[in-house]
Structure 1
Amino acid sequence: MDTDEVPRAAADRVYAHVKTGILDRSLPGGRLLTEGEIAGAVGVSRTPVREGLLRLQAEGLVHLIPKRGALVVPVSPAEVEDVLEARELVEVHTAARAWPHRAQLAAELEPWLQRMEAAADAGDTWAFATADRAFHATVVGAAGNAVLTALHDSLRDRQMRMGVANVHGSAERVALALADHHRLRELLLGEDPQAWLDLVRSHVRAAADRLRAVRP
């Protein structure tokens, strides 16, 4: 491995470790993380810790406090509404752009539906939320706009830390979400673009309402 790649790999590990904790909320908003704590958990020196935290600060997930560490940025009610509004705009727009590629898209969505079903059967809400995210990311990616794809990924990161896994906390919610995703794929096999867009919009709005309901 190139000598420059060693610290970069260590910083990547720090970034992934802390980000995962923020998204699954094992590192909740308002938690102060010290460089020493993170270095010990990941098994690296403090230099890559700083580099990893700088990346997370650029994504708005932490706020660096000189000589103290990094504060996990709490989620405000305003951020929740901003993220949900932006997600609807991106998903409906990209769904329209993806429609001409619907046959290929339908095929690409099938594996994610299977993973959602497996996660539902296992009662694994985090795996279900992860597969749900990948399903939607596949639709957004089919529009072919790299900027919107990156924006959507960022929005879903922010939504994950709002407790999106809790949205699927009951068998009834899982069943409703799974039925919606099956219907979305079925519409891609038809010839009604308006029905497709209407369901994308209503599905995203329903998910947003469920998230608002489970927010602490």
Structure 2
Amino acid sequence: MSKTYSAAEQVYRTVKEQILTGVLPGGELISEGEVAGQLGLSRTPVREAFLRLEAEGWMRLYPKRGALIVPVADGEAAHVVEARQLLEVHAAATVAGNAAVCEALVPTLRDNLERQRRIHAGGDLAEFSAADAEFHRLIVEAAGNPLLLDFYDALRDRQRRMTARSIARNPAQVEAIIADHAALADLVEAGDPAGFGHKVGEHMRVVHGLTGGRA
């Protein structure tokens, strides 16, 4: 039983990561047999993993046909961006009101920025989308509200998938994303939540192809 559970967990994590990074794009149909063959496992743990992914909304299962990777829904990007902006601007305002927290956060953001630059130089877009998500999370975490952080983390998988899709569509924008992150770090350091709110909203709308972004 424990081996089956371990194998099912392995399949779940592997396939979910492929969905979040765009290796398995929305609209693609995959089968239990394909995944079992790729991972060298039986179909039983694959079936368990697929059921879990369906329950979380990442897949839609069709008996005898396979599993459809659920595409990003119409309007989902706008809803995620709206929720993220509310949380991140609130966090930036909270951080701005606490000099010690701000002083501790800024070097962490700069370290993340250096990591983004290294990843970009190496060309790993999937890893970059994870570093991008972590940059924004650091700001929310620094605000010190665990309930808001839990809510933000609930958006994280959608955020990563959206970013990976946007970067795959236009890899050249990675440099602009890094430049925006550097500007956001500067605004955090300056204690300017209003400027941060304007910049982060513009940043997310441009990255995800929403209207009202950078002119």
TM over 0.5: yes
CA contact (8 A) 2:129 2:160 kept: no
The match for 1:38 is 35
1:183 is aligned with what amino acid? A
Residue ranges of structure 2 left out of the alignment (5+ in a row)? none
The answer as to 2:52 corresponding to 1:49 is: no
Secondary structure of the structure 2 residue equivalent to 1:77: coil
Alignment match of 2:150 (pick from 147, 161, 167): 147
Cα offset for 1:60? 1.5
Q: Does 1:12 align with 2:9?
A: yes
> What is the distance in 1 between the residues matched to 2:211 and 2:134?
18
- CA separation in 1, counterparts of 2:25 and 2:87? 27
Letter of the structure 2 residue corresponding to residue 50 of structure 1: R
2:81 is matched with which residue? 84
1:165 counterpart letter in structure 2: I
AA partner of residue 166 (structure 1): A
List aligned pairs for 1:63-212, cutoff 5 A: 63-99=60-96, 100=98, 101-143=101-143, 144=145, 145-160=148-163, 163-166=165-168, 169-170=171-172, 173-209=173-209
- Structure 2 CA distance for aligned equivalents of residues 35 and 115 of structure 1: 36
2:57 to 57, 60, 80: 60
**Cα contact 2:9–2:49 (8 A) shared by 1:** yes
Which moves more between the two structures, 9-18 or 115-124?
115-124
| Percent identity of paired positions between Structure 1 and Structure 2 | 38
State the Cα deviation string for residues 153-180 of structure 1 (Å, max 9, x = none): 133144246x13236511xx33322222
Give TM-score scaled by structure 1 length. 0.80
Aligned in 2, Cα 1:7/1:141: closer, same or farther, shift over 3 Å?
farther
SS at match of 2:75: helix
The one-letter code matched in structure 2 to 1:120 is: H
* Post-superposition offset of 1:104: 2.0
After superposition, give the CA deviation of every residue in 1:115-137 in whole Å (9 maximum; x if it has no partner): 11112333443333332122112
TM-superposed deviation, 1:89: 3.1
Could you tell me how far apart the structure 1 residues matched to 2:92 and 2:190 are?
14
Aligned partner letter, 1:72: I
TM-score (norm 2): 0.80
Q: 1:42 to 1:185 in 2, by over 3 A?
A: same
Matches of 1:64 and 1:95, distance apart in 2: 41
Q: Could you tell me how far apart the structure 2 residues matched to 1:150 and 1:190 are? A: 26
Structure 1: runs of 5 or more not aligned: none
Q: For residues 85 and 208 of structure 2, what CA distance do their matches in structure 1 show? A: 9
Letter in 2 for 1:190: A
Q: Secondary structure at the match of 1:87?
A: helix
Q: Is the 8 A contact 1:23 1:160 kept in 2?
A: no
Cα offset for 1:14?
0.5
Kept in 2, the 8 Å contact 1:61–1:72? The answer is: yes
